Structure 1
Amino acid sequence: MKKPMLLAIAIAGTTASAAHAQSSVTLYGLIDQGFNYVSNVQTGRAGGALAGKHQYAMSDGATGIGGSRWGLRGSEDLGGGLRAIFTLENGFNINTGGLAQGGLEFGRQAYVGLANPFGQVTFGRQYSIVSDMLAPLSEAGEVPGHMGANPDDFDDLGHSIRIDNTVKFRSTPYAGVTLGGMYAVGGVAGATARNQVWALAASYANGPFAAAAGYLNARDPNLSYFGTAGNSGGNTANNLGSFGSATAGQSNPIYAGFASAATLQLLIAGAKYHIGPASIGATISHAGFGGLGDTSAGPNTLHYAGSAVFNNGEVNASYAFTPAFSVNAAYSYTRKASVGVYDGATYQQGTLSSAYFLSKRTELYALAIYQKASGTDSLGQTAVASITQLTPSASDHQLLVRLGILHTF
């Protein structure tokens, strides 16, 4: 069934292009495959204590620098400078052929909209406008991709989150300034604000210098922000992560305990400066899980109340020795404040990576990420290291070494 459907879409796109010279449909994609060594990953519990072992694994883009995907992108000239646009983007696992994003057909992106010389407005499943504008300034916008994001990607600079039912506007740059905003409709009868997400962002680029700032507010984030994958549950499930079990590791222990938050607020700013073949950048992030204890939003296993606050600072640098070969390094420091009777936690992460382009579309890369944790994490346990996209460590440190190949089409 799927092959005839794809053929029909391709034929339709070709026909449309022939009939209207200013209209097009483009098939595109990315395949990321590599080999991982991880010093310690949780395997469950032994006698109540976390158990972990080192791991060697063939791993696709879900734990690489760019999630494997294919998509269709289209544009139709409507006249007078107005265009209709759309994107349908599927994520998949190259090792198994399975769907990513919880089994959603177009789980990465799915939207339609209108564009003119002043900007564009789009409707559907989309990334946050804050991530759109800030990610290029962070380590996640460099060679390591989303694996280089801050611990468990708590601020979404690694583009881990997609938001459903979203209206998003992004202006065309004017004098170097780009403005953007988004609103995700909660859709709950009689409760306009419930499950809503809204955000504002602005960026500036002039020659070698770029800077941006953004703010996002999500009501009932366990549902509206983290609960948008195909396998997510309702408010009785923890969509932020997992406490693990006797035979399974945890996920996102840095913030998984805060599923009962009534609100999530993100405030992020960053800048980057290019000096010839080199660049240096920095970002600061603040995340606040407020109104903890709202069991209508999500479970509250540890009986939290009040707010949980994260603050992060990151610096990154890159150097291109040739147009084909570049290296990158970064350091980030994350601090979670204490919550009630639970102490705070600290996470320090260092990243080193390199990339070599065999062609414009094929890249070989290598990266190493080391994270060290201390204090008490959101699960009320001695903090464990948790590199984005990996199963957390059973100890306070974790090392990832990855060799990979990435091809775009």
Structure 2
Amino acid sequence: MRFVTKSICSAVLILAAGGASAQTSVTLYGVVDVFGQYLLNGSGTKGGPGTAYVPGANSFSERSGGSTGSMFGLKGSEDLGGGLKAIFDVENGFNVNNGTFFADSTTLFYRQSWVGLRHDDWGQLTFGRQYQPSFLAIYPTDPFRGNEVLSPIAATDLAGARDRATLATQYVSGRTSNAIAYQSPDWRGLRLYGMYAFSTTVTQPVQMTSGNMLDLAATYSGYGLYVGLAYQFQHAGQESASLGQYPSGTPLAGQPLPASTFDLVSTAHYSAALAYRIGIVNLQFNYSYNSPSDPPPGARVTAPGVGTLTPLAALVHPYSIIEAGATIQATSVDVIEIAGIYRSVRGVDDNTPGFEIGAEHFLSKRTSLYLRAGYMKNNGIANVSWPGVTAADGSKQVLAVLGMSHRF
């Protein structure tokens, strides 16, 4: 036993000495965030293949990640000399309310997982699952910081994977696997980003194969001003999803249709972002336009055992998202957030206006309490919802939230 103890101690000392000589550092960090939610999920109207009227409902629930996504991560660096460092970051997402993985139960490090090199003068080159430059350009101009659960811009963007008018038009997901990314150093407030990602297949939250992707962005920050511009091009992919329910009058009326597998057409995304700080108020604005390629002539979407449901063109429409808002530092420990948003699909009667307000009170540098309230009105066959909430076509939603967040 004494020999084993001495061996373990020796190994620890050797590793510690090696770490010190290489000047490495590893940091554990994270957020634990939980909230209670009231939702009025208003009744919807019939529209789209196989859809049916859905009655409105009131619900109360406990959820996770309303202010900042619940997560833990490990990041570190090793000084290689000459201004060069090896760097890495792996970041898990989880649900505090039930302990499960966030969004994808098959992926441990859903949020980030990358390794690379950083040079003081030349910037950094990284490899793995990473944030997209388009997301990084927009992020500072969303009062709710692109939160995946309660941010209105996340809701309207992710609607691309739900709204039947845009189901085959790809959306900016925020993160990408199999990616190579470059980020320049800060040149007097100017920073450049570039990413190329190879095709990847996922089964959750949506079964999808994405094509290769190019993403470029530039940002400037200085004198209270922030400007961001981004361009992303996603090559064609494929998705599997149910396009609704069996129609009334059939033996399986009201039950989900079998999943259809259909093409995702190549899509270009253009984004612009602007913010300007005046005293305690940070005014924020962003706009994005999503332009799909034309689907092949005659392409149709079918369901197993059902047959043709709709032309693929019915799922392919360009759409835009516009958001304007403000973040107000009311006191040293109180922040107020306000955002109005509008999603519009071209060529169909499909749009969603909405707004959200929030307040956050910091009990300490690490712990805060927060409130959120929001409203969305879907028109036509739009079914935008806050992520994790199912909405019927043409429904309206009212949301109220009280939560707590702790950072470590």
TM-score when normalising by structure 2: 0.78
1:129 and 1:201 in contact (8 A); partners too: yes
Q: Select 2:214's aligned residue among 195, 198, 212.
A: 198
Bigger Rg, structure 1 or 2: 2
What residue in structure 2 maps to residue 225 of structure 1? none
What does residue range 292-303 of structure 1 map to in structure 2 within 5 Å?
292=295, 301-303=309-311
RMSD over aligned Cα atoms:
3.6
What does residue range 9-408 of structure 1 map to in structure 2 within 5 Å?
15=16, 18-20=19-21, 22-40=23-41, 48-61=52-65, 64-103=66-105, 104-117=107-120, 118-141=122-145, 147-149=151-153, 151-154=155-158, 160-186=173-199, 195-222=211-238, 235=239, 237-238=240-241, 243=244, 260-292=263-295, 301-305=309-313, 307-338=316-347, 343-376=348-381, 383-393=382-392, 395-408=394-407
Give 1:170 deviation, angstroms.
0.7
Report Cα offsets for 1:144-175 as digits up to 9, x if no partner.
9752325442499x985421110001111102
Where relative contact order (Cα < 8 A, 6+ residues apart) is larger, the structure is: 2
Give 1:20 deviation, angstroms.
3.3
C-alpha distance in 2 between matches for 1:392 and 1:82: 50
Report Cα offsets for 1:353-372 as digits up to 9, x if no partner.
10000111111100111011
C-alpha distance in 2 between matches for 1:404 and 1:16: 44
Q: What secondary structure sits across from 1:217 in the alignment?
A: strand
Report Cα offsets for 1:23-72 as digits up to 9, x if no partner.
101111111100000001789x99942244111001111xx122211111
What residue in structure 1 maps to residue 9 of structure 2? none
My pick for the range that moved more, 91-100 or 287-296, is 287-296
1:195 and 1:220 in contact (8 A); partners too: yes
Give 1:92 deviation, angstroms.
1.1
Q: What secondary structure sits across from 1:33 in the alignment?
A: strand
Change (3 A) 1:349 1:84: same
C-alpha distance in 1 between matches for 2:125 and 2:302: 32
What residue in structure 1 maps to residue 250 of structure 2? none
Change (3 A) 1:359 1:335: same
TM-score when normalising by structure 1: 0.78
Give 1:196 deviation, angstroms.
0.3
Extract unaligned runs of 5+ from structure 2. 1-11, 161-170, 202-209, 247-252
Q: For residue 313 of structure 2, what is the amino acid of its counterpart?
A: A
Change (3 A) 1:41 1:71: farther
C-alpha distance in 2 between matches for 1:206 and 1:298: 52
Counting matched residue pairs gives 361
Q: What secondary structure sits across from 2:312 in the alignment?
A: coil
C-alpha distance in 1 between matches for 2:351 and 2:196: 33
Change (3 A) 1:159 1:84: farther
My pick for the range that moved more, 99-108 or 390-399, is 390-399
Moved over 3 A (4+): 11-14, 45-48, 142-146, 158-161, 241-250, 256-259, 291-301
2:23 and 2:78 in contact (8 A); partners too: yes
My pick for the range that moved more, 111-120 or 283-292, is 283-292
Q: For residue 212 of structure 1, what is the amino acid of its counterpart?
A: G
C-alpha distance in 2 between matches for 1:185 and 1:13: 40
Q: What secondary structure sits across from 2:134 in the alignment?
A: helix
Taking only the aligned residue pairs, the percentage that are identical comes to 29
Q: What secondary structure sits across from 2:57 in the alignment?
A: strand
Give 1:329 deviation, angstroms.
0.9
Extract unaligned runs of 5+ from structure 1. 1-10, 189-193, 223-234, 251-255, 377-382
Change (3 A) 1:321 1:258: farther
Q: For residue 225 of structure 2, what is the amino acid of its counterpart?
A: F
